[in-house]
Structure 1
Amino acid sequence: MSFLKNIFGKKEIPIKSYSDFWNWFQNNEKTFFNVVKSHKHIEKGFFDKLSPKLAELKEGYFYLTGMYDDNTVELVLTADGNTKNIVFIEELVEQAPKINGWKFTALKPALDIENVAINMAGYKFDSDNIFYYSNDHSDYPDEIDITIIHNEQTEENKQQIGNGIYIFLDNYLGELDFVNNIDNLKIIGKKEAEKELVPIAKLKDFLTWRQKEFIEKYDGVRYDTSEDEHSILEAELESGNKLIAVINTQLLNWDSKASHPWIAVITFKYDGSNNNGMPNESDYQTLNEIEERILQQLSDKDGYLYIGRQTANGERDIYFACKDFRKPAKVFFQTQQDNNKFEIEYDIYKDKYWQSFERFRPNY
């Protein structure tokens, strides 16, 4: 038996929880430490082993590594800007054990401007050639709309410049602040600028000031939906299929929408081919039960406002406006894992004034 064990090797325990991952990591950390410190074969000796283990937990974990100091390896786990995955990065790092010689960091940290210089695709990105200005909108006073200017951007290279700018801002602002503090971002060349250019080194202080104002204005703002009435909106699509939406149109007229800037949408795909795009009776009941379970977890008093749902063309979309993106990401991911009857997708994005739902407002 021992001979067979040696031939086939020891079967690795599947990674089903954060503790499973960290137990595996601790068993291999000395090897990983030496690989990173030697600066040799990091891809093969560390990343190729790390990546599949993270993927067993969930898709969407990315990573960076290097020497924090002479005796410490830093492993930065990042969502690569994907809002849906940030909470899972944070939770994994929160549960990291203390391991001598290792520093674990959730999300890319902010760097001082003098430490951010990127060379990419033949272009340089630093404080000497990147500027910004802010755009104000009277209809959307709390929206932080930023235009970034790179001296060398042209129509031909805008994709390469755009990619470099996003990486630059991720490192300069820090991954979480980049997601939280900018609502709209446009990247242009110097010739397209319509306002006075401000050095990019001043952007961080500007965003901190705007975010402080925003928090002071909306901190603690909640909305009680229990007395609201929902409107039933019906339409016939060009295909002849039905569209039915049940929407809290009263909530859509609220004047403090910006206090709940994150829109969370979960989509269930079913077979509506024999019913004008609508679910059959069994699917209809199951969808309602799933929706009710979601509503029990995402309540208005906690900052998750149920906007309503739309059903058409073999899909049901359920909409929330949220104070924060973390809990909806967890609830939607778990809903996806728990239900194999439907194909389920979800998205979470910033829309401070709920412009996504203008189509549901009366007289729009």
Structure 2
Amino acid sequence: MSFFKSLFSKKEQPIHSYADFWNWFQQHEKKFFKVLKNQDDIHTLFFEKLSPKLNELREGFWFLAGMYADTTAELILTADGVTKNIVFVEELVAAAPKINNWKITALKQPSDVSKLGVNIDGYKFDATSLHFYAINHPEMPDEIDIIITHDKYNEENRTSMLNGMYIALDVFLGELKTVTTIDNLDIINTIDATEELIPFEKLKDFLIWREKEFIEKYQGTRHNTKNDNYAAMEGTLQNGLPLLAIINAELLHWDSKASHPWIVHVELNYDRANNNGLPTDDDYELLSEIEDNIVAQLKDAEGYLNIGRQTADSVREVYFACIDFRKPSKVLDKIKKTYQDKIKIDFEIYKDKYWQSFHRFMHE
């Protein structure tokens, strides 16, 4: 143990870039390889060394590690299913140098169904125990709504079953496909199935077919918002504070919403608890500057549609519907850092093909 203490006792340079991280990793990769190869105290001698360095670079990096082959260790960097972090995991791995005896992998990769053998809290998740079927929604024909079945499921073990289901999907489909191809997902007991059960090993082919069909249907779909009509709305929150919204009413009735399935939800917390929760003149100027900055980088012609904004209780929320999630992730992350000394900014990105999040703004 004293040998490893001496290795890491030197003062190390802070991690500010992908290059910094990989330079640090290369300094210790031989020791890390030996720890994994010999199955030493992996948690202390590897995981506890690597985690803080990844966190220095940015929050949201997770990892798995083990022996890929007798002479090759594998480090899998993952976003753990968080959409807005995927692009940064991909960039970090793309920046990795070639390191002898190491395989560096971005995101959990798919594997053959025969290798699927997940055990969670005594429950087994494999090709024998799992089946699936899809629910069709005539009013939302492009929605991919998957029901997974397991004969041991009940409401008491729901948490374990959900964990096992998601891990099994990551192993079989891979992390990226699990996040990007399925819109809704649930697990039930086999006896409660309302459709014919399909073998779990056929799920991958089913999703490939649906994805191909979707891409062909919406290839090249665009929307120009220049001449759209915007609606101003007023309301009152449950706490009595006023709510103001400006929404692209025409866009909400567009018949090709599913072509822009990724919703970006930005929160600008001006948090000055005055003016009845609405922005002061100074607040308004800063909020407008930030919003203009976002719109300038996420252009409608490139597939990033500004749906509108809502302002209430010291928070402005800005909404976009996008053709992809990678560029918005990078744009918003940069803007968040640019204004971090002036205002708290947070954002999330999630899939909502039919923009159901915005039904509250729609008036038939």
> Is 2:52 aligned against 1:62?
no
Distance 2:133 2:198 in 1: 6
Q: Determine the structure 2 residue equivalent to 1:298.
A: 298
Q: Determine the structure 1 residue equivalent to 2:346.
A: 345
- How far the C-alpha of 1:238 sits from its partner, in A, is 4.1
> Is 2:193 aligned against 1:225?
no
Q: Which whole-Å deviations, capped at 9, do the CAs of 1:61-102 have from their partners, x for residues lacking one? A: 111111111111110001111111100100000010001111
- Does the CA-based 8 Å contact 1:240-1:276 persist in structure 2? no
Distance 1:306 1:143 in 2: 22
Q: Determine the structure 2 residue equivalent to 1:90.
A: 90
Match of 2:304, as an amino acid? Answer: Y
Distance 2:11 2:294 in 1: 38
Q: Determine the structure 1 residue equivalent to 2:363.
A: 362
Q: Determine the structure 1 residue equivalent to 2:309.
A: 309
- How far the C-alpha of 1:332 sits from its partner, in A, is 1.5
Distance 1:31 1:257 in 2: 51
- How far the C-alpha of 1:236 sits from its partner, in A, is 3.0
Distance 1:345 1:271 in 2: 13
Q: Determine the structure 2 residue equivalent to 1:103.
A: 103
- How far the C-alpha of 1:272 sits from its partner, in A, is 4.7
Match of 2:286, as an amino acid? Answer: T
Q: Determine the structure 2 residue equivalent to 1:17.
A: 17
Q: Determine the structure 2 residue equivalent to 1:244.
A: 244
Give the direction of change, closer, same or farther, for the CA distance of 1:9–1:80 in structure 2 (3 Å limit).
closer
What is the aligned-residue RMSD (CA, Å)?
Answer: 1.4
Paired residue secondary structure (1:29): helix
Distance 2:331 2:67 in 1: 36
- Does the CA-based 8 Å contact 1:272-1:313 persist in structure 2? no
Aligned length: 357
Q: How does 1:1-364 map to 2 (within 5 A)?
A: 10-339=10-339, 340-363=341-364
- How far the C-alpha of 1:362 sits from its partner, in A, is 2.2
- Does the CA-based 8 Å contact 1:118-1:125 persist in structure 2? yes
Pick which of 98-107 and 341-350 moved more.
Answer: 341-350
Distance 2:217 2:9 in 1: 61
Pick which of 85-94 and 192-201 moved more.
Answer: 192-201
TM-score if structure 2 supplies the norm length? 0.95
Report % sequence identity.
56
Pick which of 216-225 and 284-293 moved more.
Answer: 216-225
The runs of 5 or more residues in structure 1 that have no matched partner are 1-5
- How far the C-alpha of 1:130 sits from its partner, in A, is 0.6
Paired residue secondary structure (1:201): helix
Distance 1:9 1:154 in 2: 50
Q: Which whole-Å deviations, capped at 9, do the CAs of 1:122-147 have from their partners, x for residues lacking one? A: 11111111110000001000000000
- How far the C-alpha of 1:345 sits from its partner, in A, is 1.6
Distance 2:247 2:253 in 1: 12
- Does the CA-based 8 Å contact 1:36-1:73 persist in structure 2? yes
Distance 1:191 1:341 in 2: 55
Distance 2:176 2:237 in 1: 40
Match of 1:226, as an amino acid? Answer: K
- Does the CA-based 8 Å contact 1:125-1:168 persist in structure 2? yes
- How far the C-alpha of 1:237 sits from its partner, in A, is 3.2
- How far the C-alpha of 1:11 sits from its partner, in A, is 2.8
Distance 1:172 1:227 in 2: 46
Q: Where does structure 1 differ by over 4 angstroms across 4 or more consecutive aligned residues?
A: none
Distance 1:273 1:115 in 2: 55
Paired residue secondary structure (1:276): helix
TM-score if structure 1 supplies the norm length? 0.95
Q: Determine the structure 1 residue equivalent to 2:3.
A: none
- How far the C-alpha of 1:10 sits from its partner, in A, is 4.2
Q: Which whole-Å deviations, capped at 9, do the CAs of 1:182-220 have from their partners, x for residues lacking one? A: 000011111221111111111110000000000111122
Q: Which whole-Å deviations, capped at 9, do the CAs of 1:115-172 have from their partners, x for residues lacking one? A: 0111110111111111100000010000000001011001211111111111111111
Paired residue secondary structure (1:319): strand
Match of 1:347, as an amino acid? Answer: E
Distance 2:351 2:202 in 1: 23
Distance 2:62 2:224 in 1: 38
Paired residue secondary structure (1:282): helix
Paired residue secondary structure (1:187): strand
Distance 1:29 1:130 in 2: 39
